[in-house]
Amino acid sequence: MVRDAYLKAAEIAVELMREPSVAEAWERDSALAEFRVSGLVGHLGAQVLRLPGLLAADGPAGEPISLLDYYTGMPWVGADVHAEINVKLRELGEDVAAEGHAALLGRLDAAVDESRTALSAAPAGKLVEHARRAIRLDDYLVTRMMEIAVHNDDLAVSVGLATPELPSDVLEPVLALLSRLAVGRHGQTAVLRALSRVERAPSTINAL
């Protein structure tokens, strides 16, 4: 079930952020262009911190967008690192991290606990609002698992740790989402060749 998978992903991310090497590298540049480690931790942590508020809010009006349509028109998809939206995302990450490593961990632990309780009570088909659009809760959770998976790797590389392994119920929907997005950007043939034919593989099949 995607809700249980999300909680696993959130717990793995929090444990990575808890590592002493993260606190030690707090003020350094990260492996993600233009992000400091602190801002990257804030951005990763936001994938956990925002959920309790979304679950507590009234459901949005209107028809929900699909999982793939969620990414259509998102200004950060394919944007240059210096684009206004990416500058804003880095600033927001630093805002989340501004209280410091220890205090942020306390908030993250509380958010995971709140989310566990709220997710168990949320009805099937619940809608949440994100980026001013309605989306099904379970689809939203897949988007957060993707963010967590990708940024876990960014953070681990930034502080010299092994990237955490993800359980199959987290990894499989993330890979399915990224594959579908990559096909949308590059076409079926490019993705098939990249995965199966090194001699004909394109130079990139990035999903985002």
Q: For position 61, what pLDDT does the model report?
A: 81
Q: For position 100, what pLDDT does the model report?
A: 97
Going from the C-alpha of 45 to that of each of 10, 39, 149, 169, the distances in angstroms are 9, 10, 12, 21
Q: Rounded distance, CA 175 to CA 155, Å?
A: 19
What's the whole-model pTM score?
Answer: 0.93
Q: Which residues of the chain have pLDDT under 70?
A: 73, 75-79
Q: For position 2, what pLDDT does the model report?
A: 97
**Half-sphere exposure in the Cβ direction for 166 (13 Å, CA):** 25
> Is the domain covering 2-165 a CATH 1.20.120.450 domain?
yes
Residue-wise pLDDT tens digits, 63-115 = 999 999 888 767 666 657 777 888 888 999 999 999 999 999 999 999 999 99
